Each structure stands twice: as C-alpha cells, then as structure tokens.
Homo-oligomer: A and B are copies of this chain.
Amino acid sequence: MKHMHYTEVEEEIPAEEGVKDTTIRWLISEKDGAENFAMRVFTIQPGGNTPHHQHDWEHEVFVLEGEGIMRSQDRREPLKPGDFIFIKPMEWHQMINESDEIFRIICLIPYKK
C-alpha cells in the first residue's frame, strides 16, 4: 500500500512541446506496481496550459482546485472544482488557466496492453 500526500511527490516539468507553466506529479504509476492505469496531478499556473493535442488513449480528469478552460476541437468549456471529464481516445483537448489562481487537476491514463 502506498499512502502519501500529493505535495510530497516531486513536481516535474512535462517534456512535451506546447506545455506552458505546468507541472506534473506522478502519484501512482508503474513504478509503484500499478499495471492498469496511472494517477497524475497537473498544476497549471495562471497563464499556463497543456498542449492542444490528441492521442489514442483516454483521459479521466477530476478538477481539484481553481478555475480553468477545457479547449476541445471546436469549443471552450469552463471548469471548476468537482467537475470531471472523460476525454475519449483521439479527442482533441487542452487545459488552459486564464485565471489569477492555480488550476489543479487529477488526470488518469491507461497503460496500454
């Protein structure tokens, strides 16, 4: 059993192009023996964003803190704490923080078999 507070997990800068003022914490991953899916926390600073992209795996997202924007292929939807989003494989998505406060989400991904 692994039990920690998310702030105890090292913050890393995602290597992906198009990331701005955003960090990732890998809370639960293959390193911990998780074989099916991984839990990460993203912290997006004011003015920051994740890339606008698509890929062949899904995301399951839950908003923890702050206000953000989810940009899909052709829409922008406001996000608030307690919102959740299921982003299906190949759906375009981006998280944007246009507020003055931190925007923080949980984002889970599968490990492809």
Contacts and interface: CB of A to CB of B under 8 A. Distances in A.
Interface string A52-65: 00000010101010
Given A28-B60, A34-B58, A60-B108, A1 B72 contact: yes
What is the copy number of this chain in the assembly? 2
Most chain B beta carbons < 10 A, residue from A70, A82, A83, A91 = A82
A4 interface: yes
Contact of A108 (B35, B37, B83, B86): B37
B77 A5 contact: no
Classify chain A: how many residues form its interface, as a range. Answer: 35 or more
8 contacts: A1-B86, A3-B84, A3-B86, A5-B83, A5-B84, A28-B84, A34-B58, A34-B60
6 nearest CB pairs, A to B? A36-B110, A2-B86, A28-B86, A37-B37, A3-B85, A27-B84
Interface of A: 1-7, 27-28, 32-37, 39, 58, 60, 62, 64, 70, 72, 77, 79-80, 82-88, 91, 93, 106, 108, 110, 113
